[in-house]
A and B are shown apart, each in its own frame.
Chain A
């Protein structure tokens, strides 16, 4: 008993000492992180990354859109999307190599790698640096998502490389400063694909490690100085960078896994400068007076939609029911659920800004047209709806329930976490009628929307992205024909298919294209703000402090 009392007294004393210590600490020091010095260049940007961590920073493994915002700072690619807003920011330009020479049959790409680029360690960038980057990503011991067939599946030797039969992609050859890539079949989207972060230049001897390297030499404007998983990453300016990309800040300190609400207060008070993880939805409206000063709103290459299951025997196998759904859904209400400045209403598959998109105003986007919906569908019925179980999805579920009730359709709403929803809806034969989904492209080409999401020839037993199970022979043929086109003809073909799918077959109720909403502390100079349209994020390389 004596010991227990002693423990209690000791705990009391410890607690009191902690209280005293806390009060001293509060008086003597400032919060973690320091503000950068004033001026157009230099200084430290304190970034929070709320509610998540990087998946990876290693160029062969990084695949999350929020990670790409940061790897865009450090990677040197053959071609890249410049640090400029739309439309220039959407056009590929030469970076580590000159624009390539392409053979007449579209199967051979010859890149001449520029001289003068160096990694932060001083190592010179060569054509071999890019070839090594490609080989490392294809190596099965890396298990890289960059080795998916859809990216470089057309390069000669792909199958052998991903099967582990060779450590070098035979279609990629290096001679001096010339990198030649041979394809087994023409791929007009190849330049967009080879410009993915997976195929950046890497230093000699970068380890093959399926867990990813945390720090590594980089040839872009910045490099990763340190990365403590789950805690913090420090990104610093590459002292050897001689390229034309901006690199205003000396250093970017990323605090990982912050809380959205807490982080918002930090940015408001200047303890942090920006939250790459987003904003609390309820707080966005209050930022309206700061629009263009500290608060910025930009459109992403993304579409939010309801996939209508067109499989035989399901409710939406009837095209009239699908068109009625497009009339019945209240798109403004669906968008409002996401909060202020959340996006722009749409009724089409392709987002504005994607080459080929043209706005045809096929279905009502100003609100539901119940009468037209009833005219198309008067039989009533019951549908099963798969929705997310967080945030806006809960409100949207109620909107849908009301909208469908208006035309006599009962709904069985089933809520799932995102991973479960996509897994269930992606399994062929799953008993659902509507799945709420969103899609942003990996690379800026309409094929990465239409071909991936609505080509019936891509339907498998599991892991489907075609959640509508839409399989229409004439559309499949049109998509296959468009895939071999290039330039304006390609864009027009995909634009036509988008309109044809939406107006004639209506496998989706597309309802909005989401905005990126970014809020900066008062220390950040708004004059330096650039929204990179392809990465759909503020360009941190362009940012500067006042």
Chain B
């Protein structure tokens, strides 16, 4: 077991190096010179050379990449200087990640709760009443959820529930703790401001989960042990709770962990439209301004999050299923 865990962790480290290296190379292949951001748009070659030398941007990319990795090791991944500073506003990336990660976490975790709230009952009812009106309604919901882009949904939600009905604020974020001076904050404001983003973020996943839960429940209902339980005279709700749902939801719960880790991709759109100061919004802006350190900071954070969740899931699999250990 220990060897298995060590092997998974080593693979995660290799993957981390590969992902960050590829990101670095891509940026250096893009023909844009960040020195102009420091020296100014009317800079002479001498002005540019001074700025490049000051920030070490005149060195080859592999030297800069090595320094990037060295900083991660010497300062620790969460150290202030570990991820360097933004080319655009020269602020330390680590402090930006620390302030923005909770916003993204609020969106992704709250969204996950929301999509499970929607998907579990709809999926189960669809499975219990196949081809019924509810099942067909669920199919329509699934089609809309998969087809509608989050940006489109967000704008519609903002217009209807924010601008027309005044039920929710038109975008913006309220901190759960320590809001900026004069700004709304606290748990209630946080939830109120996040409600529409959660809905937007959740709909795609909810649609997918409805189909998965429906299929899983139908499959489990046909298992021998369910038939046996019924034959033994167990009440239907006991069969449903103890035999069907327990087994049908097992793969769903496992998938949930993976999808939460991957949720950062979907968060990009939702954060942008709702003006949520999270990592997704930051990543988009850094790409537009060729701010390599910020992009790398978000890549490092996202890669670490996905790899950690992957390792945890792999280890849990090994704990649950002995066949994994043998493999």
Show the binding face of A for B, using Cβ within 8 Å: 1, 4-5, 7-8, 11-12, 14-16, 18-19, 21-22, 24-26, 28-29, 31-34, 51-56, 61, 63, 140, 143, 145-150, 162-163, 210-212, 226, 228-232, 234, 253, 255-259, 261-263, 265-266, 268-269, 271, 417-420, 422-424, 427, 442, 452, 460-463, 465
- Determine if A148 and B170 form an interchain contact, defined as CB atoms under 8 angstroms apart: no
Task: Kindly provide the distance from the CB of B237 to the nearest chain A CB, expressed in whole angstroms.
Answer: 15
B residues 10-43 touching A (CB-CB < 8 Å): 30-33, 35-36, 38-43
CB-based contact B44/A460 at 8 Å: yes
- Assuming the contacts A22-B191, A22-B192, A25-B192, asked whether A263 and B282 have C-beta atoms less than 8 A apart, the reply is no
Which B residue's beta carbon lies closest to that of A211?
Answer: B90
A262 and B274 in contact (CB under 8 A), knowing A12-B116, A15-B114, A29-B184?
yes
User: Does B50 sit at the interface, judged by CB under 8 A?
Assistant: yes
Q: Give Cα A427 to B48, complex, Å.
A: 14
B289 within 8 A of partner (CB):
yes
B172–A149 touching, CB < 8 Å:
no
Q: Are B171 and A266 in contact (CB under 8 A)?
A: yes
Query: B45 in the interface, Cβ–Cβ < 8 Å?
Result: yes
A210 to B188, CA, bound (A): 39
> Is the pair A452, B191 in contact by a Cβ cutoff of 8 Å?
no
Contact of A262 among B33, B92, B158 (CB under 8 A): B158
List the 9 shortest-distance A-B pairs measured between CB atoms, nearest first: A145-B40, A25-B192, A25-B188, A15-B113, A262-B171, A32-B184, A419-B290, A258-B275, A423-B32
Known: A16-B117, A33-B182, A149-B47. A257 touches B38 (CB 8 A): no
Complex CA gap A55/B291 in Å reads 12
A206 to chain B, nearest CB (A): 16
CA distance A232 to B184 in the complex (A): 12
B91 within 8 A of A: yes
- Subset of 29 A-B contacts with CB under 8 Å: A4-B253, A8-B120, A12-B117, A15-B113, A16-B117, A32-B193, A63-B40, A145-B38, A148-B43, A148-B47, A149-B44, A149-B46, A210-B90, A211-B85, A229-B91, A231-B180, A231-B277, A234-B181, A255-B275, A259-B272, A262-B171, A263-B171, A265-B163, A265-B170, A269-B162, A419-B288, A419-B290, A424-B31, A465-B41
Task: Tell me the complex Cα distance, A256–B96, Å.
Answer: 14
Q: Are A259 and B274 in contact, CB atoms less than 8 angstroms apart? A: yes
Q: For residue B271, give the distance in angstroms from its CB to the closest CB of chain A.
A: 9
Q: For chain B, what secondary structure do more than half of its interface residues adopt (helix, strand, loop), or is it mixed?
A: helix
Given contacts A148-B44, A423-B31, A452-B42, 15 further A-B contacts (CB under 8 A): A4-B253, A14-B113, A18-B195, A22-B192, A26-B168, A32-B174, A33-B182, A143-B38, A149-B43, A261-B155, A271-B169, A417-B32, A418-B288, A419-B288, A423-B36
Q: Residue B253 contacts which of A8, A259, A452 (CB distance < 8 angstroms)?
A: A8
**Complex Cα spacing A140 to B46, Å:** 13
B51 touches A143 (CB 8 A): yes
Cα(A31)–Cα(B154), bound, Å: 18
Given known contacts A63-B40, A145-B39, A145-B43, is B33 in contact with A257 (CB within 8 Å)? no
By a CB distance below 8 angstroms, the chain A residues around B38 are 143, 145
Q: Which residues of A contact B194 (CB under 8 A)?
A: 22
Q: Does B99 contact A (CB under 8 A)?
A: yes
The reply on B110 being an interface residue by CB < 8 A is yes
Q: Kindly state whether residue B177 has any CB partner on chain A within 8 Å.
A: no
- A258 adjacent to B172 (CB under 8 Å): yes
Q: Find chain B residues with CB under 8 A from A423 CB.
A: 31-33, 36
Interface 1/0s, chain B 255-289, versus A by CB < 8 A?
Answer: 00000000000000000111101000110010111
Chain A contacts for B100, CB-based, 8 A: 230
Chain B residue nearest to A253 in the complex (CB): B182
CB-defined contacts of B110 to chain A, threshold 8 Å = 15, 18
B282 contacts A230, C-beta separation under 8 Å: yes
B274 contact set on A, CB distance < 8 A: 259, 262
The residues of B that contact A63 with a CB separation of less than 8 Å are 40
Chain A proximity of B137: nearest CB distance (Å): 21
Query: Interface 1/0s, chain B 41-64, versus A by CB < 8 A?
Result: 111111110110011000000000
Given the complex, which residues of B lie within 8 Å of A231, measured CB to CB?
Answer: 99, 180, 277
Q: A256's closest neighbor in chain B, by CB? A: B277
CB pair A258 B171 closer than 8 Å? yes
Q: Is the CB of A266 within 8 A of B182?
A: no
State A69–B170 Cα separation when bound (angstroms): 25
Give the residues in chain A near B30, CB-CB below 8 Å. Answer: 420
* Minimum Cβ distance to chain A for residue B35 (Å): 8
Given A257-B281, A460-B44: A21 and B163 interface contact (C-beta under 8 Å): no
Question: B2 contacts which chain A residues (CB < 8 A)?
Answer: none
Rounded to whole Å, the gap between the CB of A156 and the closest CB of chain B is 18
A352 to B295 alpha-carbon distance, docked (Å): 40
Does B250 belong to the interface (CB within 8 Å)?
yes
Residues on A with beta carbons closer than 8 Å to the beta carbon of B172? 31-32, 255, 258, 266
Q: Are B47 and A140 in contact (CB under 8 A)?
A: no
Q: Are A15 and B169 in contact (CB under 8 A)?
A: no
Residues of A within 8 A of B99 (CB): 230-231
Q: A202 CA to B245 CA in the complex, in Å?
A: 69
Q: Which residue of A lies closest to B281 (CB)?
A: A257
Q: Does B159 touch A at the CB level, under 8 Å?
A: yes
Chain B residues whose C-beta falls within 8 Å of the C-beta of A228 in the assembled complex: 180
CA separation between A419 and B40, bound complex, in Å?
13
Question: A420: which B residues are within 8 A, CB to CB?
Answer: 30-32, 290
Is B136 located at the chain interface by the 8 A CB criterion? no
* A24 contact set on B, CB distance < 8 A: 188
Tell me the smallest distance from the CB of A51 to a CB of chain B, in Å: 8
Which of B45, B182, B193, B275 touches A259 (beta carbons < 8 Å)?
B275
CA distance A265 to B245 in the complex (A): 44
B246 proximal to A (CB < 8 A): yes
Find out whether the CB atom of A21 lies under 8 angstroms from the CB atom of B191.
yes
Instruction: Collect the chain A residues with CB atoms within 8 Å of residue B113's CB.
Output: 11-12, 14-15, 18
Which residues of A sit under 8 angstroms from B281, Cβ to Cβ? 257
Known: A148-B39, A232-B180. A140 touches B290 (CB 8 A): no
Q: How far is the CA of A343 from the CA of B273 in the complex (A)?
A: 27
Which of A32, A212, A253 lies at the interface centre, i.e. has the most chain B CB atoms within 10 A of its CB? A32
* B 89-130 binary contact with A (CB < 8 Å = 1; else 0): 111100010011000000000101110110010000000000
**Chain A residues near B114 (CB-CB < 8 A):** 15
CA distance A258 to B281 in the complex (A): 10
User: What's the minimum C-beta distance from A147 to chain B, rounded to whole angstroms?
Assistant: 7
Minimum CB–CB distance for A237 against chain B, Å? 15
A470 to chain B, nearest CB (A): 17
Asked whether, in the complex, the Cβ of B195 is within 8 Å of the Cβ of A22, the reply is: yes
Cβ-closest chain A residue relative to B42: A150
Q: Contact between B39 and A265 (Cβ–Cβ < 8 Å)? A: no
* B222 interface residue per 8 A CB criterion: no
Chain A residues in 8 Å Cβ range of B43: 145, 148-149, 463
**B183 CB-CB contact with A under 8 Å:** yes
Residues of A close to B285: CB separation below 8 A: 51-53, 257
Q: Is the CB of A32 within 8 A of B169?
A: yes
CA distance A83 to B46 in the complex (A): 36
Report B-chain residues with C-beta under 8 Å of the C-beta of A261: 155, 158, 273
Closest chain-A Cβ to B262's Cβ sits at a distance in Å of 18
